[in-house]
Amino acid sequence: MSVVLPDLKYTKDHEWVKVEKNLARIGITDHAQTELTEIVFVELPASGKDVKTGEVLGNVESVKTVSEIFSPVSGVVKDANGKLVDSPELLNKDPYGQGWVAVVEMSDPSELSALMNADEYKKLLGE
């Protein structure tokens, strides 16, 4: 059973969003990191990059596959988690904490209404 935190928003593509005023901290879910298995490389977005909902924010490479990380919101990338460059395993060890991927300053916070809450995400996972 995957860890699903109650105070986050979720996408069908297994990204999570933590809303901090007009900023969206984004990462991949516990379910996603479990499916990927051992993560060996993370490609992060550049600060200042404009992203739209559903566009590729970065990539995660595991021993099994390469998977895209999609932006759940539109806006400008304000920060990317540089720790993941040297320690991509943080995505496996702490996906909701030190394993965050990027922070996006939202241009349209109303887009958050299209995301799932924890209960809806659990239903998607079949839990």
The 3 state secondary structure assigned to the chain is CCCCCCCCEECCCCEEEEEECCEEEEEECHHHHHHHCCEEEEECCCCCCEECCCCEEEEEEECCCEEEEECCCCEEEEEECCHHHHCCCHHHHCCCCCCCCEEEEECCHHHHHHCECHHHHHHHHCC
Full set of structural domains in the chain with CATH: 9-107 (2.40.50.100)
Going residue by residue through the chain, which has 127 residues, state the pLDDT in tens, using 9 for 90 and above: 899 999 999 999 999 999 999 999 999 999 999 999 999 999 999 999 999 999 999 999 999 999 999 999 999 999 999 999 999 999 999 999 999 999 999 999 999 999 999 999 999 999 8
Identify the pLDDT of residue 22. 97
What is the pTM for the complete model shown? 0.96
